[in-house]
A and B are shown apart, each in its own frame.
Chain A
Amino acid sequence: MNELKLDVKKEKKAHRSQSGLNILWREIVRDKLALVSLIFLAVITTTVFVVSGLLDLNEIVRVDLFAIYEPPSENFWLGTDYGGRDIFGQLIIGTRNSLAIGFAVTLMTGIIGVSFGLITGYFGGQTDNMLMRIVDFFQILPFLMVVIVFVAIVPNYGIVEFSLIMTGFLWMGIARIIRSKTLQERELDYAQASQTLGTPRWKIMFGQILPNLSSLIIVTMTLNLAANIGLESGLSFLGFGFPERMPSLGTLLSYATNPQTLENRWWIWMPAAILIFLLMLSVRNVGEALKRATDARQRRG
C-alpha cells in the first residue's frame, strides 16, 4: 500500500517538471540576455526600494536656492535642478515611483482583463457579443487624449487616481487575448467533462481554465509592464502623470522641455532617459523570452 503511494508521488513529480511555469523559467535561464535582464531588474528594484527607504523624501524635494543648477560634484552626485534639489535622490525615488505604478497598473489591468476575458470567453454567444461591444467602445477612444483630459479634470488628483485612470483605459488588450484563448479552451475535453459532471461554472472558469492560461497571462503581463512604464513616464513627461512633489522618471525628463536645460544641463535628464530605456529594454527581453517559451517551436531550451 505504502509502496503504491510513493509511486504516485513520483509520477506526479515527473509530470510537474513539464509544467508551464517550469518551461518559462528554463527558457529564461537558457537565454543569457533575458537572464542578465532579469538580474538587472531585480538589482535595480531592490536597490531603489531599499535606498529610497533610507532617503528622506522631504530632504530631497526641499528647495535650496543657494544650489540651483549645480553640475555633478561630490555633494550632489548628479547635480541639482532649478530648485536646488538633488537629482540623484530624485532619480532613486523617481525610479521607485515609476516601477511601483508600473507594477500596480499591470496588476490591476491584469485582474480586470483576465476576469473579463474569462467570463466573455466562457459564456460565449450573446453575453460575449454584448460584453465585447464594451471592449470595442474603449478601444476606439484615443487613449492619450482621454487620459490627459481625465487627469486635468479629476479633483484631488493623486497617485491612486492616476493609476486608476490608467487602468481604466488599458485593460482591453489583455481581455481580448484571454477571451480568444478561453473560447478555444472551453471546447477542450477537460472543460466539457467538468461541465458534464456538474461543476459550477465559476469553478471551471477560475479553477480549471485559469491555471491552463497561466503562462499566457504571465507573458502578456510582462510585456504590458514594459509598455506601462513607458506610458507612465510619457504622461509624466507631458505633465499629466505624477504631481511634481512626487518625482518620477518622467518628471525628471520633463525638465528637458526647458531648452536651456536640454542644451546645457545634461545631468538633469540624461540619467533618467537612460534608466527608462534600460528598464523597458530589460523587461521586454524577459517578456520576449517568456513568449518564446510558450511557443514550443521557437523554444531554445
Chain B
Amino acid sequence: MAVSLGINLQPPEIEPAMLRFILGRLAVLIPTFIGVSIIAFAFIRILPGDPVMLMSGERVMAPERYEQISRQLGYDRPLPVQYFDYLTDVLSGDFGNSIVTRRPVLDDFLTLFPATLELSLCAMFLAILIGIPAGVFAAIKRGSAFDQTIMGTALVGYSMPIFWWGLLLIILFSGTLGWTPVSGRISLLYFFPPVTGFMLIDSLLSGQAGAFKSALSHLILPSIVLGTIPLAVIARQTRSAMLEVLSEDYVRTARAKGLSPFRVIGIHALRNALIPVITTIGLQVGVMLAGAILTETIFSWPGIGKWMVDSVFKRDYPVIQSGLLIIAGVIMLVNLAVDLLYGLINPRIRH
C-alpha cells in the first residue's frame, strides 16, 4: 500500500516533532471547543420566545406551574451556573432532551446522523471519482478546449445555488422522466429494522427484493446535488496542484529518463499533487454539512441538516444548542484528522 501510493508512511513510533504537532493542535482544539459551547449556550438564551411557555403549547399556564417547570429545567438559576451545569452534563454525555420529541438530543442525533453520513459519503465519492480525473486531464491538456470546458463546467458547479439545482433535477428526473422518487430514503413498501443505519447496506441485509434498488434511486439525486460544489472545488484544486507539480524538476527528470507519460503523471506527479487535494477534501466536510441543510430540506432526507432546520423553526432550544455543539465538534475532529493526515503524508510540515 505504502509503496503503491508512493507515500512514505512512517513506522508506528511517533517522532517528537510529530508529537509536538499533535499536542499543539490539541491545545488549540480544547479552548475552541469551550468557546463553541459558550456560543451555542448563549444563542439559546438570547433567542426570542420562552421555552417554558412553548412547552405548554396553546394552554394557559398558571404562574405556579410556570415557576415549577422553570425550576425543573434550571432556567431560574444564574447564567454562569446554568452554563457550568450544561458543560458538565455535556462532558458526561448528556446533551439535554428535545422539547418536541422528548427524547435525548444525542439519541436523536445518533439516529439521524447515519442518513447524513451516507448521503455525504456518496456525494464525496462522486466528487472524488469525477473531480480528480477531471482535474488531472485538464492539467495535462492545459489550454485545450477540453481543459476550458472542464474548468468552465467546474466554475458553473462552484457557482451553483444547490437548492435550485436540486429542484431542477427533481423537475427533470422525477417529474418529466419519472426515474427517481422525489423525497425520502426508501419507498414505503419496504420496511426493515436499521442495522447499520446506512440504507444501502441495510436494504441488502434485509434480503427484500427491490429494496436496494429503491434505496439507491432515493440516494442518487441528493448525492449529485450535495456533491456538486465539492466536485467543482476538487477538480479546480487538482488541476492547479497538478500544474504546479508538472513544472517541477523531478518530473522533467522522470520524463528525460524516458519513462512513459503514464508513469510520469500517474506515479511521480499525481502522488505529490494529491497532498493539497487531500486537505481540500477534508475541508469540504464542513461545506458538506452546510450543504446538507439545503439538500436534506429539498429532498426531505431525514438527516441532521433537516433536523436542525426543523428545530430552528420549532424553536426546539435544547436541540439547537446541542445540535450546534455536536456538529461543530464533529467538524473540528474531522479538521484535526485532516491536519494529522497532512502531517503524516507530507514530511515537510513536521520539520
A and B physically associate: no
Residues on B facing A (Cβ under 8 Å): none
Give the interface of A toward B (CB within 8 A): none
